[in-house]
Amino acid sequence: MIEIGKDINKSIFHLKNNEIVVLPTETVYGMGANALNKQAVDKIYKIKKRPFYDPLICHTNSISKIKNYVVKIPLKAKILGETFWPGPLTILFDKNKNVPDIVTSNLKRVAFRIPNNKLTLKVLEKLDFPIAAPSANPFGYISPTSPEHIMKKFKTDIAYILDDDDCNIGIESTIIGFENNKTIIYRVGGISIERIEKVIGKVQVFEKNIIFPNSPGMLKKHYSPEKKMIIGEIESLIKKYKNKKIGILSFNKYFDGVSKNNQIILSKKKSLIEASKNFYKSLHILDNMNIDVILSSLVPNEGIGKSINDRIIKASEKYEI
Ligand code: TXA
Ligand code: MG
């Protein structure tokens, strides 16, 4: 059994010993370890069965600490950080030599974010090194938004889970960076494109490159349940799959012809914020139901709805690399 609790000092102790500690954030739970220690970072890749080409996000509690690991803080990054941190935004910076290459998969940039979770911020305040933390799921599986999701998939090799119940935002951070004077969103997430553009003007959303992804938000199948998930118009899908045991992930209403017990609604009141909080949690429940297929459709494609749709599409596509 993995030890779990709300003990900040225990979390700090294990992280200083280069052990893995699962930390709560407002987006998803992170599989955390000392980003400056290669062995500690190696443990993260091993436990997640994550390929080494997939870089990790570093977490800390202040912009002044980030300065120790980057060449410079561009003005737009400073403005974004001051506006949205602590919060679900990750910024890519040119790294300096203090960041081990294993953290960034040999890329020249390092990803940083200041997460908005009181317990985790208390831990980060006490550390003089950043915490590398990918989502605490086996590579490719649904991201965890509560400790039970982690306990179901991992039995050993985690020193401690810092428990703070359900994550509030429920999907991963938005990842942003700067290339040739352009501001680029590499992964849509917890902060909507609209909110970012209000602060720094027009941004570009990176086109998918599934052959050589340099950001695995771009792997075609990611964040996926083990059950087959199909998206489309739910009424017609119910007819098409009438000989299968059907589960439904719906935005705001129940559908006829399938037991209500097998249907999960993301937000009865059509709130995209509530839908985002419930999204991974609902996928975990459906994936553990006695069903053959999960039928779903996209949510309204605005604000954080774009991020939810990105995850719905990724959860339903085939892995192609
Ligand atoms: O909300 C989140 O961001 C959560 C919590 C735990 O903070 N973390 C998270 O980490 O989603 P992960 O590893 O599941 O996804 C991180 C993604 C990588 O897959 C990669 O696409 C991108 O961040 N990334 C990290 N470092 C990068 C770099 N140097 N250049 C390009 N992309 C990078
Ligand atoms: Mg992940």
Q: What is the pLDDT of residues 198-249, one digit of tens each?
A: 999 999 998 764 434 555 555 555 678 999 999 999 999 999 999 999 999 9
- CA angle (196, 108, 207) in 5-degree steps: 45
Q: Which ligand is nearest to the CA of 187?
A: 1
Q: Which ligand is nearest to the CA of 217?
A: 1
Which atom, in ligand 1's list, is nearest to the CA of 137?
A: 14
Domain ranges of the chain: 4-205, 228-320
Superfamily assignment of 228-320 in CATH?
Answer: Threonylcarbamoyl-AMP synthase, C-terminal domain (3.40.50.11030)
According to DSSP, the β-strands at 160-162 and 263-265 are unpaired
Cα(90) to centroid of ligand 1, in Å? 8
Which atom, in ligand 1's list, is nearest to the CA of 30?
A: 6
Backbone angles phi, psi at 29, to 5 degrees: -70, 145
Q: Which amino acid is at 297?
A: S
Cα(203) to centroid of ligand 1, in Å? 19
Residue owning the nearest CA to atom 10 of ligand 1: 134
Q: What is the pTM of this model?
A: 0.95
Cα(174) to centroid of ligand 1, in Å? 9
Measuring from each residue's beta carbon to the nearest atom of ligand 1, which residues come in under 6 Å? 25, 27-28, 30, 54-57, 88, 90, 92, 104, 107, 109-111, 113, 115, 133-135, 172-173, 175, 186, 214-217
pLDDT score for 32: 98
pLDDT score for 318: 52
Residue ranges of the chain whose pLDDT lies below 50: 209-212, 319-321
* Top mutation candidate among 48, 89, 175 for ligand 1, by most atoms within 8 Å of CB: 175
Cα(274) to centroid of ligand 1, in Å? 23
Q: Cα 199 to the chain's mean position, in Å? A: 23
pLDDT score for 206: 87
pLDDT score for 317: 74
Q: Which ligand is nearest to the CA of 172?
A: 1
Dist CA 288 CA 51 (whole Å): 26
DSSP class of residue 309 equals H
Superfamily assignment of 4-205 in CATH?
Answer: DHBP synthase (3.90.870.10)
pLDDT digits (tens, 9 = 90+) for 121-152: 999 999 999 999 999 999 999 999 999 999 99
Beta sheet of 131-132, edge-to-edge order: 4-5, 160-162, 21-23, 30-34, 131-132, 57-59, 109-113, 89-94, 174-179, 182-187, 204-205
